[in-house]
Amino acid sequence: MGENQTSITEFILLGFGDLPQLKTLLFLLFLVIYIVTMAGNILIVALVVTDRQLHTPMYFFLGNLSCLETCYTSTILPRVLASLLTGDRTISVRDCIIQFYIFGSLAATECCLLSVMSYDRYLAICKPLHYAALTNGRFCTKLVAGSWIGGFMSVAIIIFMISQLTFCGPNEIDHFFCDLSPIIKLSCSDICVLEVTAVIFSSMFTLPPFALTLASYVHIISTILRIPSTTGRQKAFSTCSSHLIVVTIFYGTLVIVYMLPKNDTLRSLNKVFSVFYTVLTPIVNPLVYSLRNKEVKEALRKAHSKLLSSPQIFTKAKMMFLG
């Protein structure tokens, strides 16, 4: 048991193999979602980098969130698409552990980033006179760096413990990606210490960020309700409504997938809820921020106008294409 010896060299991700009649439909659906997710998030990152009006703390955090979502969806969907297209559902034990490490680290990072973004909205609405001084570039960079570093460090110890497990059969994972619970269930080693460690670390990197997010919005909402004018309340709420929608969707699906008891009904629906958590959430973020945010709309309009007013760009592209 103590030896780092793996009898099984690969797992089988069952994915959506129980729905062969929907294989083509699922492939096309996930392909469209992947393309839209990547395009939307990359567009937001590009706008935040290139448009000087978006060089503010809120959009700095949003750009990092979009970058995270790009990595997040690319960790899971390409393999799902390849499996649906080729029918090959095998994944090596090593690749499975790596996928879980990246997925788990990005999920922890997102918890931290969402709490940082809620704190930013709290300062903007509840401490407007001190906002500019408090949210300087150095402070924002430290918050973002701490979120990324903390997220990836949080899963490192768990990954080390998983790498010490012995897997000796069966090797089927009833999921479309490598998550912690399905992986360790296939181990024939003692996983008690690993399970306790996983609960401790997951709690450390989800509960405090959630508590900070909740506390920030309690203060934000109470402050908005004290604003005398209706126009003032609407303007204040519009600055944080997009983030509140994203937070609600993220934590709502997180609770459904990981916190609710796994009775027979919920166990059969867990895969469906996981699709919302891992596939649909990354596509919602750019849509919510682009459709509900005036600054992003304006930046997109300016970028579009600038592109149309520069025909030489198309001429150069045409010349490069034609050689």
The H or E element that residue 13 is part of is: strand 10-13
Would you call 133 helix, strand, or coil by DSSP?
helix
The H or E element spanning position 57 is helix 57-86
pLDDT value of residue 145: 95
Q: Which two tokens stand for residue 232?
A: 């003032």
**What span, in angstroms and rounded, lies between the C-alpha atoms of 183 and 195?**
12
Q: Tokens for 115, please give them.
A: 């709490």
pLDDT per residue, tens digit, the chain (323 aa), is 444 454 788 899 988 776 778 888 989 999 999 999 999 899 889 988 988 888 889 889 989 999 999 998 999 999 999 999 988 899 999 999 999 999 999 999 999 999 999 999 899 888 888 888 888 889 999 999 999 999 999 899 999 999 988 888 788 888 889 988 889 888 888 889 998 998 888 888 888 898 999 999 999 989 888 888 888 788 777 778 777 888 888 888 777 777 666 655 666 677 777 887 788 888 887 777 766 677 777 777 777 677 776 655 445 544 544 55
Annotate 253-296 with DSSP letters as a single string: HHHHHHTS---HHHHHHHHHHHHIIIIIHHHHHHHHHHHH-HHH
What is the C-alpha to C-alpha distance for residues 267 and 288, in angstroms, rounded to an integer?
30
Task: Give the Cα separation of 251 and 203 in Å (integer).
Answer: 13
Tokens in use for 84? 């649906």
**pTM of this structure:** 0.85
Asked if 285 contacts 246 with a C-beta cutoff of 8 angstroms, the reply is: yes
Residue 101 CB-density burial (10 A; 0-12 exposed, 13-18 middle, 19+ buried): buried
| d(C-alpha 18, C-alpha 22), whole Å | 9
89: three-class secondary structure by DSSP: coil
